[in-house]
Amino acid sequence: MQKHITVISRRRLLGVLGTAALAGNVWDRSTAAEEISYIDVHTHPGPFWHEQGIKELTLDDFLRWMDRNNVERSCVLAHVSPEGRVIPIPPVDTLRAARRHPDRLIPFTSVDPRADFGKVQDLVGMLKWYEDQGAKGFGEHKPGLPIDHPLCFRVYEACEMVGLPLLLHMDGRCNTDSPGLPGLRRVLQNFPTLNLIAHGPLWWASISASVASDAYPKGKVAPGGAVDTLMDAFPNLYADLSAGSGANGISRDRKFGRDFLIRRADKLMFGSDYLRPNQVVSQFELLPSFELPVDVRRKIYRDNAIRLLKL
């Protein structure tokens, strides 16, 4: 039965366990049956560019998707850098969406580091205004610049001063870095009280000490990757488990992945990167399949987001 449980869906899992309980099988309600609702820290409702045309993930469709998947609340991220998304999602849109659904949606704000916002102190004033409007975080920070570019340092400095956690995407084009992530290390060294939420192919490939050029590397993880060494060194470093990169990072070597989820339970957050209707989000099957202890699931599924974002 254990083997079967690892491959069936969460809803079916609950049904199977209920049947087992009725049949008198011994199972631990506290760890197996408790359904914990998610807080999704990484989503993008709104219009998007698809095969040379504009489509839209409407708020109504998005809320229905949340209901179907037991997602209680979602962070709606702004997207303002041209390299990150063809059709930008400005912060006014995320704030407006959250005003319409204050019990379900949590708005993030963002500013492209190349924008002419004047001095860092001026950006601090702007971010405080966004915070007054309801913004709980900054991101998705995804400019086509090195992660330790001086312009990005101005953004990090302002976010640190305001106290907004910053969610960033790392790949070969946006927030670029070298193997071992020395640029990210410099950011963390310079801004020790800025809470950073890392995500993206380059970040998750760095879970292994042997980083190939492949953005979605498969196979065994070599211990001692930059993800672990930086998380050991910097308590202000977090990560979200969203997108294909997050799923690949924890599933390519399931033994390592499960140990990592438990070892970093205070630093990881559930995320989907849901951005278009009918998008497959493998995390809904993958995370329950690890059969994590209930306290670990609570932290990753929702409690870390509540703590970090002050919800």
Q: Minimum Å distance from CB 249 to Zn ion? A: 15
Task: Pick the closer one to Zn ion by CB: 140 or 177.
Answer: 140
Q: Minimum Å distance from CB 77 to Zn ion? A: 6
User: Which one among 273, 283, 284, 305 touches Zn ion, defined by CB under 5 A?
Assistant: 273
Task: Pick the closer one to Zn ion by CB: 140 or 148.
Answer: 140
C-alpha 68/C-alpha 15 separation (Å) is 16
- Residue 237 amino acid letter: L
Task: Pick the closer one to Zn ion by CB: 253 or 273.
Answer: 273
Q: Minimum Å distance from CB 195 to Zn ion? A: 18
C-alpha 296/C-alpha 311 separation (Å) is 19
Does 240 sit near Zn ion (CB under 5 A)?
Answer: no
Q: Minimum Å distance from CB 131 to Zn ion? A: 21
C-alpha 167/C-alpha 39 separation (Å) is 15
Task: Pick the closer one to Zn ion by CB: 160 or 273.
Answer: 273
Three-state DSSP state, 47:
strand
From residue 99, alpha-carbon distances to 49, 56, 74, 306 in Å are 25, 19, 13, 19
Q: Which of residues 180-239 bind Zn ion (CB under 5 A)?
A: none
Q: Minimum Å distance from CB 140 to Zn ion? A: 5
Q: Which of residues 137-156 bind Zn ion (CB under 5 A)?
A: 140
Which residues of the chain form beta strands (DSSP E)? 38-43, 46-50, 53-57, 71-76, 105-109, 137-141, 166-169, 196-199, 237-240, 268-269
Binding residues for Zn ion, rule: CB under 5 A, are 140, 273
